[in-house]
Chains A and B, each alone.
Chain A
């Protein structure tokens, strides 16, 4: 994979500016605060992509809340992994039984990872579990899962930035942009 020293050069188009994201995150935080008023909330972030979103969102929620982090393996399709199954690489650090849980995702496209995570988390008997995703790419959806809080519905393009990567690069961009094909086509 080749990437420019100035990562901005690999971005064909800024899809969501830093300001647009900030406004939307504030709006989501207000909605979540209103919906869960009088309750305690546990935010569960799915590493690594949702980290910036989680960090910004939690500061816009005016509720007593806990945070937790999870990481799951991604399909790689190598010879050794081809017979494998998705794995929880980092599990919750505290029980969630009887708690209201909000799963925080950066992007939902096929829904395969989310489908797996929801099944896993429901097995831990939370009081409720809902999903908040900054980005929704419905054109790629395979598993239809209701998403309770969506920041932006985006077109069918390969996006990076604000936590989203390609080959572990571009996560630190402050905006969400469309990656130039030259950056991922060898």
Chain B
């Protein structure tokens, strides 16, 4: 048995917001695809004063592929809002590559790897972990270069639902103003088409 090249250094231990994200991360790890979890937040809507009204932080960034991946295990009829955000992101950041991984894609992936029995347990609200202490709308706001605090490893076998048990990932201690400033920095750095200058 052998592996490709030298092993990468240990990656940060991320606090995944959803069990499906943890499973997806394990698949990426297995195939030695480097990733970062929610590394960037992209402003997608501003008011007339240039204040960010809405932002979007894709779940994964695969640096070797220069690809963002947004994972959703919501039913297809419920993903309209997410579709709109991705569409808006593509309009504003045309050089950015993003793939939206729908529930059906996730289901197919689980089927391919013989994990179809887990689909219902990793999907939708059942797969959600403990509530965030100070949740953003849709849980999107994380500033550029900042990561959620590491949590203990997710254990899919430790409760009957199979949902990852996690408590503690939060944006505690970050003021609204600090978040706004972080979002503005991201906008300046990454949004050539945005009205923020």
Contact = CB atoms under 8 A, between A and B. Distances in A.
A123 B5 contact: yes
Contacts of A77: 23, 26-27, 113-115, 118
B1 A123 contact: no
A185 B23 CA distance: 20
A112 B3 contact: no
Contacts of B118: 77
B117 interface: yes
Interface string B78-119: 000000000000000000000101001100110111111110
A74 interface: yes
Contact of A86 (B3, B65, B112, B117): B3
B31 A112 contact: yes
A76 interface: yes
Contacts of B29: 85
Contacts of B33: 112, 115, 143
A101 to B, nearest CB: 16
Contact of B32 (A86, A88, A184): A86
Nearest to A123: B5
Contacts of A143: 33, 65
A30 interface: no
Interface size class on chain B is 20 to 34
Nearest to B26: A82
Interface string B22-42: 010011011111000000000
A115 B32 CA distance: 9
A interface SS class: loop
A86 B109 CA distance: 16
Nearest to A118: B4
B37 to A, nearest CB: 16
A87 B1 contact: yes
Contact of B31 (A75, A109, A156, A167): A75
A91 interface: yes
Contacts of A64: none
A115 B2 contact: no
B116 A85 contact: no
A123 B3 CA distance: 11
Contacts of B157: 79
Given A123-B5, A140-B105, A85 B32 contact: yes
A143 B31 CA distance: 11
A128 to B, nearest CB: 19
Max chain A C-beta neighbours (<10 A), residue from B4, B67, B69, B111: B4
**What 4 A-B pairs have minimum CB-CB distances, sorted nearest first?**
A112-B31, A75-B30, A120-B4, A87-B1
Given A81-B30, A116-B4, 5 more contacts: A76-B114, A77-B118, A112-B33, A142-B67, A144-B65
8 contacts: A76-B115, A86-B31, A113-B31, A115-B33, A116-B31, A140-B108, A143-B65, A167-B114
